Chain A
Amino acid sequence: MNFKFTGKRISGVQAVVPANERSFLEEMKNFDFPEARSLKLKEVMGYDKRRLVQPGVCVSDLAVFGLQNLFERGLLPPNDIDALIVCTQTPDYLLPPTSSVIQGRLKLKQDMFCLDINQACAGFVVGLIEAFMLLEQESVRKVVLINADVLSRLTSKKDRNIYPLVGDAASIAVIERAAEDEPIFASLKMDGSRGEALMIPAGGMRLPHSAETARLEDVGDHNLRAKDHLYMDGSAIFNFVQTAVPPLIEGILEAAGVSRDSLDYFLCHQPNRFMLQKLADKMKVPYSKMPNNVVERFGNNSGATIPVALISNLAERVKTGHCRVCLAGFGAGLTWAAMLLRLGRMDFCELIDYPDNQAVPV
């Protein structure tokens, strides 16, 4: 389905990544896997460095650290926040919502709207759509959108298919009304019938945690995984992206009456370099217009990948000038979503480290 918004903009973006950095080649030594193939994976997929939280660090810890930093530097007055959206698949608790946890820890005002959304890789676009809808209300002037996951805590260290790929991160985007005359277009599609391609089977009410769900099982190729862990059918996801995303973007360009060449950048979710190059090939977009360098520096950090791609590649440009971009997120659900908008005049667009020795609530 298509959406159209006017008079709104993203006024700042910050990403918070754990300082703790891991090396793909070092970690692959823990698996029974030829080093030559690990080097090939590094070259083709771009797997290299990634950032992981220390044990016990939760989504709210990363988010509170980033927001406090913005408060202290005067970049975001706490009382201006009328709505706080947290997009995560790894909440602090089943309940209360993580958005409420963050509101409470930061002592934000009561006269506000806190909302959790269970989305991951498509979560930045889904969250923006929600933020723009909230801003249609007179009482909502500023929305903070947080995309954060600590998926390393839910992946099996003995599953080569996923453990060396994921990264942890939080992104914070401030969305507000603006005298922006250029409309924002968004398009969103969902297919729950294919949801099993990307899931954590246990831990909800269908299959609650137990000793049984924590038991590592041999899932082939010397990989061990429990039902408590994240599962991904990599080739199914690859096919989903290659078949679903190009028509989604063609559709939104058509709906907006915008040509592909008039866009400066395509900022996509960042599963790996290979998938993004194949997507660019299929859409006939030059690689220089579709950055793919997030996974090599931070790992696939779920819903924060698009903000991290923006910060890593376009920070100066969106602070001092403008650019027209197409955002595209795709993943769990299955969900795939795209957005066309102009980015610019941002108050901040930056990445900060979450220190290893930061104290967390017990």
Chain B
Amino acid sequence: MNEFLKKLAEILELPEMKESDQLKDFPQWDSLSVLSVIAMLDANYGVNLRAADFATVNSASDLWKMVQARQRS
């Protein structure tokens, strides 16, 4: 989870990211960031998400839960 938060923070160019942070609150959370996150999840976690999958994602921990669920399935 820490590693995951660090990678998310890197993409959004933030010093750090917390589990409870609401992704959509960041002005830099746009299609480029979403694509970068999709690429990061593919490269590091073997999970392939689509932009539409992010509709139900609010916080960083929501996204982490989705990644874990996809890894198990």
Q: Using CB atoms and an 8 Å cutoff, list the residues of chain A in contact with chain B.
A: 34, 37, 40-41, 44-45, 161, 221, 233-236, 238-239, 242-243, 274, 278, 281-282
Query: Can you give 19 contacting A-B residue pairs, CB < 8 Å?
Result: A40-B32, A44-B32, A44-B36, A45-B32, A234-B31, A234-B51, A235-B38, A235-B50, A236-B50, A236-B51, A238-B39, A239-B38, A239-B42, A239-B48, A239-B50, A242-B39, A242-B42, A274-B35, A278-B42
Chain A contact residues: over half helix, strand or loop, or mixed? helix
Q: Is B71 an interface residue (CB 8 A)?
A: no
Besides the known contacts A233-B51, A235-B51, A238-B35, 6 further A-B residue pairs in the complex with CB atoms under 8 A apart: A37-B28, A41-B32, A234-B35, A236-B50, A236-B51, A239-B42
Q: Which bucket holds chain B's interface residue count? A: 10 to 19
- Find residues 1-50 in chain B having any chain A CB closer than 8 Å to their own CB: 27-28, 30-32, 34-36, 38-39, 42-43, 48-50
Q: Smallest Cβ distance from A317 to chain B, in angstroms?
A: 31
Chain B contact residues: over half helix, strand or loop, or mixed? helix
Contact present for B38 and A238 (CB under 8 Å): yes
Chain A residues with CB below 8 A from B36, complex form:
44, 274
Q: Using CB atoms and an 8 Å cutoff, list the residues of chain B in contact with chain A.
A: 27-28, 30-32, 34-36, 38-39, 42-43, 48-52
Q: Smallest Cβ distance from A286 to chain B, in angstroms?
A: 16
Q: Smallest Cβ distance from A245 to chain B, in angstroms?
A: 13
Q: In the complex, A40→B52 CA distance in Å? A: 23
Q: Smallest Cβ distance from B9 to chain A, in angstroms?
A: 16
Given contacts A34-B27, A37-B28, A37-B30, is CB(A235)–CB(B43) below 8 Å? no
Contact of B48 among A44, A45, A242, A281 (CB under 8 A): A242
